[in-house]
Chains A and B, each alone.
Chain A
Amino acid sequence: MPPLTPAVRMGVSIALAVGVYGISFGALSVAAGLSIAQTIALSALMFTGGSQFAFVGVVGGGGSFPAALAASSLLGLRNGVYAVGLDGMLHPRGLAKVLYAHLTIDESMATASAQDTVDEQRRGFFTAGVGVFITWNLFTAVGAFVGAGVDAKQFGLDGAAVAAFVGLLWPRLKDADAWATAAVCGVVTALLVPAVPPGIPIVVAGGVAFALASWQHRRSA
């Protein structure tokens, strides 16, 4: 057992808080038409909540699997950026990089970066990473089994999906550029929905967001 340092305490609290909404992912995934086993596989193997919600969000909306894969991959790009930062912070070597990579998520990155020393950063990374892995997978299974037994619309599960995405988006609307990106991508999506197959508007919105980022970057440079 690692000593109960501030980093460990932070990691454990985050794991407890975050894991619980694995229930909503499990239920939504099954409501979207994935099997219980596929739902559990997503949490264990993809292990990055935003991408998982995106994958089942596209499938649930009638989108194709390629579109779902594109959406989850684009949404996972930020993990690559976290990984670069964590690599510079914690310097894992050899095969350890595989373990570090799998545990790289919003929560482990945030817990590690909140610490002051390398030892604490590493403890924070692992406590949050392993802790969320355990709770997220446990509660995903609970949600999948519960979700399989209820009428999705009667229990407002489609409303839960809407709220889940608003809740993920909200903390990222930190400045005027983010709000502008959200506004443009929201309008583009609404215009594209009637015109192209389900799922495609989401992927196009990702491309539009990238173009906006280049433009915002050049303007501020």
Chain B
Amino acid sequence: MTAWLWVLGACLISFLIKLAGYLAPDSLVDSPMMRRASASITVGLLTSLVVTNAFASGQRLELDARVAALVAAIVALKLKAPYIVVVLVGALAAALARVAGMP
């Protein structure tokens, strides 16, 4: 039940952020600083999510099959593969690395 409250709360906040942009006076939000901050926060959070998803197990840092997914995804992106292919390549790499004996 608690999970539902957090899910719906997060949905509501995401919506209110979008709506605020349509209601706020432009001068308040549409500054070069705000645009830079939003772009920067996006990069920072996504990088952090890459690191935690690739290396963290709870509060430990571990090297396991997910590293293969990270490397394979970067190679796919370098080769300009479409997003869905990048995701599939990541899954395949992790699955194969496990077959090869990585934890």
Query: How many Å from the CB of B31 to the closest CB on chain A?
Result: 9
29 A–B contacts, CB within 8 A, in A order: A42-B11, A45-B12, A46-B11, A47-B14, A61-B53, A61-B58, A72-B10, A73-B13, A75-B46, A80-B38, A81-B38, A82-B21, A85-B30, A86-B22, A97-B19, A156-B92, A160-B91, A163-B88, A164-B87, A173-B43, A181-B44, A185-B45, A186-B50, A188-B48, A201-B56, A209-B41, A209-B43, A210-B44, A213-B41
Decide if the interface of chain A is mainly helix, strand, loop or mixed. helix
**What are the nearest 3 A-B pairs in CB distance?**
A83-B21, A163-B90, A159-B94
Give the complex CA separation of A53 and B26 in angstroms. 29
Interface residues of A in 53-73 (CB under 8 A from B): 53-55, 57, 60-62, 65-66, 68-69, 71-73
Q: Are A83 and B20 in contact, CB atoms less than 8 angstroms apart?
A: yes
List, in ascending order, chain B residues with CB within 8 A of A167's CB.
Answer: 73, 77, 83, 86-87
Interface residues of A in 77-124 (CB under 8 A from B): 77-88, 92, 97-98, 100-102, 104
- The count of residues in chain B whose C-beta lies closer than 8 Å to any C-beta of chain A is 79
A146 in the interface, Cβ–Cβ < 8 Å?
A: no
In-complex Cβ contact of A156 among B6, B20, B32, B69 (8 A): B69
List, in ascending order, chain B residues with CB within 8 A of A164's CB.
Answer: 86-87, 90
Render B62-103 as a binary contact track against A, CB cut-off 8 A, 1 for contact: 000110111011101100001110111111111111100000
List, in ascending order, chain B residues with CB within 8 A of A154's CB.
Answer: 95, 98
Contact-residue bracket for chain A:
35 or more
List, in ascending order, chain B residues with CB within 8 A of A202's CB.
Answer: 45, 48-49, 52
Specify the chain A residue showing the minimal Cβ separation from B4.
A38
Specify the chain B residue showing the minimal Cβ separation from A64.
B6
Q: Are B86 and A185 in contact, CB atoms less than 8 angstroms apart?
A: no
List, in ascending order, chain A residues with CB within 8 A of B72's CB.
Answer: 159, 163
Specify the chain B residue showing the minimal Cβ separation from A73.
B13
List, in ascending order, chain A residues with CB within 8 A of B3's CB.
Answer: 34-35, 38, 65
List, in ascending order, chain A residues with CB within 8 A of B77's CB.
Answer: 166-167, 170
Render A190-217 as a binary contact track against B, CB cut-off 8 A, 1 for contact: 1001111110011001101110111011
Give the complex CA separation of A158 and B65 in angstroms. 9
Q: Are B29 and A84 in contact, CB atoms less than 8 angstroms apart?
A: yes
- Which of B23, B39, B98 has the most C-beta atoms of chain A within 10 angstroms of its own C-beta? B39
